Each structure stands twice: as structure tokens, then as C-alpha cells.
Structure 1
């Protein structure tokens, strides 16, 4: 049976360009706050974990930092190298990072904790590679989710789609509450200190076509779930999506999708 980490590798394999063209713009909203939380500024040695197409790495470099960026998916690393050519971009998979103890002044991860099968062990590894008094700053999607986050999931549920066995959930013993209290408790359990958390809320403006193109291309868990369904179920998901997305459309035809995320930081 596939593990959660095996499933994540399968979900994201070869999906870098599809992600960059769709959901990456949504995730970019949190980047300035994330870098501020990590006190990422001139001269700081920063590690960007789960860099994806390099959005965080490029923004960190623009602040005058020395950037190292890693991602588990090779096609993501290719995009990151193009977006942040001055950064040291490598393939690496949590919780085993190829760096020495205390090698960085700050570690940041934009929504990466949603994609690891052992969150506590991953955080312990981030604690290991950051120097004493250095900050670890992370974002995750909040629960309960904002209405814009549930749009595609509502369509999947309404169509009667079933979760296939090759997409297992996070094991219960590894899971944690996606709340401010749950996330700070997780940081505490990894040996980090002075943990705090805030909620980020914003409206993502996007066309209905762009918002559908991500999952239709198999991006993220929802996309892989959709692609795993029989053709008639996929058609029903799209029909319900078209119906539900009208709730968020304005006179210009753009969707206004409310989203919320948690931004946490803690010090070694």
C-alpha cells in the first residue's frame, strides 16, 4: 500500500508547469508575510524548503539574502533555477536534508508542511539546520477552510467521487489540528521555542477557467483525485464546478475566492 509520502511524489511528478500556471499565483500571496516572519533580509542565509517554482526563493534573493532552495520534485527545481538563478536550488526530500547543523540563519516553507507524511520529524529537521536563535517560518492551509478553498471539493463531493487507495490520508498519529493552537503545539513538539501563529486572509481573483485548469491537469491532491475517476464522474465534477463557481463570479466574469492560511514562526 502506498504511503502518504509515496502518494505525494506521484501526485506532483511532472506537474511543475501546470502548477506554475495555476495555483502558484494563489500561494504567492503569503510570500511577503512569510519572509517577514522569518526575518529574511540583507545578508541572511535562508533555506526555502518546498520551493516549488521558486517564488519564495526569488523574493528572498530580491531582499539581498543568500538563498538555498530545495524541492522533492525535480521539475519544480528546474523552474526554481530559472526563477532564481542566483540561488542554490537542489532536489531534496524532507525529513532528510543534505545540510549541516545550524547552516542557515532562517528557514521558510510556503505550504510545504501540507505535503509531508511526518510533520513532526520534518520540523525537527528544520530545527536542526537553522542556527541558534534563527527563525523557522511556515504557512499551511487553515481549517475549517474558507469558502473559496472548498469550491472544487464541493464539486467532487456532489459528483459522488471516491478516494482511491493510492491516495491515502495522513496517518492519524501524524496528523495535527490545522488551527493556530494545533500548529504552534506542533512547533513546540519539535523543540522549537517562542512559537506564534497568525491567520492570513485574502480574496483570490481568477477566471473560472484558470481555477479549473489546475485540477484538470492533475495538480495537487484534488487534481489527482479528479483524474482517478471514471470519465462520467469527471464530467459530473465539471458540471457541478460550473454551477458552484457562479456563486463567486462578478459582472466581469472573474471569481472572487476567499482563502485563509496560517502563518507560524518559532525560534531554535
Structure 2
């Protein structure tokens, strides 16, 4: 299956940015990992594939449970960082919806926010179904809609400054998108033939220094980072000014932010 313009954009966005991601947004994204692994029934001896492993947070936690772990990521700097961080896991460079594994090779498959970064989510899920054995488990997370207030802080600063998302960072094609709700994600998973689908909404507060939160975007991480990177210097300064003003809604006396976040966790059986 051919990769989409969205997939190509994701490759450009994340190229060489593993350390910048590790220094900022990775801690946020690691929050659901224990529940993700519980949902996939990851335990001693289970053969686990962690797709979109990033810095290896889920892979590391699965290894700690005694699982036999394989991780994949579409970005080589992530694979290299994860391989150093999680030497007990086997790491590979691979991108959905084409994984280099045989049918039914794994007992469980996890994907922590990986569906947010693929051009064809349904095809990606079908590929995850292919590589999990009959009776095996799949568990995934995505960012939910509507987004919680903490998730929209940077986007609000961009909007307040009058900046717009650059054309080289496309949105998902309408025919490939789906509602980012419990029902929307559950229906998508059901559509590829997975059974006993359960989807729930997760809520948590992410605590981070204001400068660390700004720093991830300023380093070009994610679509929001690419939006900043495409602006002239005076616009970036204006976005930062609005970010500082809006951050006071979430800040304590030390400048630490408490940012509410919402995600969806879904799990199913092949």
C-alpha cells in the first residue's frame, strides 16, 4: 500500500527529532503506558510488538513485566534511541501499514498514540490485526476530541498570534479520518475484524515547567512544532508572548504548569 501525503509529512516532521521529543513531550505520552499494557494483557512470557515505540517507554515497561518485546518505529533516530534505552527489546525500523513480520507472530500488540501519526488508520489497524495471533490482544491510544484545555495551550497561542498551520503539514484526508471519540475509535477497530472492543476515555494532569512545554514546540516537535518553525521570527515572538500570557491559567507560583489532557484507550481481541 502506498504511503499518503500525510505519511510523508510525518516522516519529515519527526526526522532527527528523537532527543527533542525525549526532552519534552515523551513524558506526557508515557502516562497511559501501564493501562495500555494491562489492556493488552502483557505479562511474563508474552510476545509483544510495540508499534510506534518512540523513545521506548512502553517497550521498557513491557520488558519489566517479563515479556519478550519487539519495538518498531518509522523514524531511525527513535529506533536508535529506543535501542539504547531498552537493550532487552529488539528494535526495528518500520512504518505502518507495512510491518516486516509474519502473520500471527505476536501474542499482543500495543500502539501508544501511533494512530495519530499514520495516513490510513484503518489500514494500520488491519496490519496490527494481521501480526497478532488468533486470540491475541491489541491495545492502542489516541488523543481524544474534544481536546482538554492543557492540550490546546500551544494551539491557542498560535491562533492568538494570527499564525496558521503551514501547507506542507497536511491534515488527514477526510476519507481516512474518523471521529476521535469512544464510539469512533471502537467502530474503526471493529471494522478490521477485531472482537470484544472496549474503548474508554482517560483524563490526567500533566505537570511540566512552562519553558519545557514551549521548548518541545520550539524544537520543531510534532505538527505544532512545524507550525512554529514555518513562521518568521517576529511571529514566533508573538506566539511566545501569547503562550506566556495563556500559561498563567495553568501555572503555580514556581512557573510549573498543570495541563489537563484527555486520550482514548481501546483494546480488542483477534
Superposition TM-score, scaled by structure 1 size: 0.98
Length, aligned pairs only: 267
Shift of 1:164: 1.8
1:224 aligns with 2:196: no
In the aligned structure 1, how far is the partner of 2:232 from the partner of 2:23? 26
**1:88 and 2:112 matched:** no
Give the aligned partner of residue 171 of structure 1: 173
Residue by residue over 1:39-73, the C-alpha shift from the partner in whole angstroms, topping out at 9 and shown as x without a partner, is 00000000000000111111100000000000000
Q: What does 1:123-202 align with in structure 2 at a 5 Å threshold? A: 123-202=125-204
Q: Which residue of 1 aligns with 2:19?
A: 17
Instruction: Give the match for residue 119 of structure 1.
Output: 121
1:235 CA displacement:
1.1
CA-based RMSD: 0.8
Partner-residue secondary structure (3-state), 1:175? coil
User: C-alpha offsets along residues 147-184 of structure 1, whole Å, 9 cap, x if unaligned?
Assistant: 00000000011111122221111000000000000000
For residues 83 and 61 of structure 1, the distance between their equivalents in structure 2, rounded to whole angstroms, comes to: 12
Deviations 1:52-99 (A, max 9, x none): 011111110000000000000000001110111011101000000000
Separation (CA, whole Å) in 1 of partners of 2:254 and 2:166: 38
Q: Distance in 2 between matches of 1:133 and 1:75?
A: 34
Partner of 2:238: 236
Post-superposition offset of 1:14? 0.4
1:252 Cα deviation from its structure 2 partner: 2.7
Deviation, structure 1 residue 4: 0.3
1:99-138 Cα offsets, whole Å, 9 max, x none, are 0000000000100000000000000000000000111100
Following superposition, the deviation at residue 193 of structure 1 comes to 1.0
Distance in 2 separating the partners of 1:30 and 1:206: 17
Q: Quote the residue 1:78 is aligned against.
A: 80
Partner of 2:35: 33
Q: Which runs of 5+ in 2 are unaligned?
A: none
Instruction: State the Cα deviation string for residues 5-57 of structure 1 (Å, max 9, x = none).
Output: 01000000000000000000001111000000000000000000000011111
Q: State how far apart, in whole Å, the 1-side matches of 2:62 and 2:137 are.
A: 14
Question: What SS is found at the alignment partner of 2:50?
Answer: strand
Q: Matched residues in 1 for 2:166 and 2:36: separation? A: 34
SS in 1 for 2:249: helix
CA distance in 2, matches of 1:112, 1:95: 11
Query: 1:31, 1:176 → 2: CA distance?
Result: 23
Partner of 2:62: 60
Alpha-carbon separation, structure 2, partners of 1:135 and 1:157: 40
- Compute the displacement of 1:230 (Å): 1.5
Partner residue of 1:6?
8
